[in-house]
Amino acid sequence: MMAFTAAQIAQLIQGTVEGNPMASVHAFGKIEEASAGQLSFLANPKYEEFFYTTNASVVIVNDNFQPREKTEATLIRVPDAYSAFATLLSKYQELRQQQLSGIEQPSFVAASAQLGNEIYLGAFSYVGERAKIGDHTKIYPNCYIGDDVVIGKGCVLHPGVKIYHQCVLGNDVIIHAGTVLGGDGFGFAPQPDGSLKKVPQIGNVVVEDQVEIGANTTIDRATIGSTIIRKGAKLDNLIQVAHNVEIGSSTVIAAQAGISGSTKIGKGVMIGGQAGIVGHITLGDGSKVNAQSGVSKSLDPGKAVTGTPAYDYTQSLRSQAVSRKLPELEKRIQELEKIIKDLKSGS
């Protein structure tokens, strides 16, 4: 990170400096362990105790934060410290990526491929026939871009990404290391003799603008048509998305979730880690699936579920509260049974 003053940083994130505007930083640091010359932030109140002991030169804080003690650090006040810090990290990442350009060798680019302006293609990468790569896209080493693949502008493909033939990526897509787009969907037809005949998977995967996909995630191509990840969706690491699935815009899915074929997931859906979604159902806009839940039926918009099989989140909490009281309830039932027995024997 290059050196920046508090005043320059405040201008970038539209903040207000409180302290020395010329305080200089050259690196980022967590507030509990930052040293002089580093920039940190405080957004979560549970970390406030570290604010009074941090050695960070500059700290980004919320506008409404009122310190109990004085600090040597220069403050930059913003409406949302977490969001502002994320903006700075993005700008820092952009600066690093701008330094990458050109085609490293050895690599292979088919003669019919079309490469945009100011792209970066890392060593040992492969670009197939008629592939199209947009301006300013960065493709790190050991990536595979199949025939007829289309990649938009400003995308980032981290090392080892594999994109099979005919898949389409929009603009500003980020795909992390080891992810595979366009592998065959899991389609096999049982035969009279008990064998399984492979069903050809002739569709593709379409990833719209501003999607981010984590490391080692797999998204299968459609049998016919497209598996679709809509604009702004965010997928974590180690997720399996099966053939012909559609994931709505701004939906977030945590690690190790699995989505079976032809399921439709709406806009703004939240799916927790290790959740399993069966095929051919619909999850309505804004629905929520708790971690490790197994969803076997369609969900109405806004519905929150948990458990296996998944059911209403509020009812689940009530059931859990009752289950914790079961030993006490058992004892009371035994006492009642004894009272009833005594009454009967007395009559």
Catalytic positions, written as ranges: 243
Residues 66 and 84: beta-carbon distance below 8 Å: no
Neighbours of 49 (CB within 10 A): 12
Token code pair at residue 263? 């399921």
Residues 56 and 39: beta-carbon distance below 8 Å: yes
Neighbours of 142 (CB within 10 A): 18
Q: Residue 140 contacts by C-beta under 8 Å, 6 or more apart in sequence?
A: 120, 122, 125, 156, 157, 158, 159, 161, 177
Ramachandran bin of 183, using left for φ above 0, alpha for ψ from -120 to 50, beta for the remaining angles? beta
Alpha helices in the chain (DSSP H): 6-13, 48-51, 81-98, 313-324, 326-346
Residue type for 20, please?
Answer: N
Query: What Å distances lie between residue 343 and 252, 330, 334, CA to CA?
Result: 60, 20, 14
Sign of CA dihedral 48, 53, 58, 63: positive
Q: Residue 160 contacts by C-beta under 8 Å, 6 or more apart in sequence?
A: 142, 143, 177, 178
Q: Rounded to the nearest 5°, which phi and psi values hold at 8?
A: -65, -40
- CA–CA distance, 90 with 297 (Å, rounded to integer): 39
Residue with tokens 């076997």: 296
Q: Rounded to the nearest 5°, which phi and psi values hold at 190?
A: -60, 135
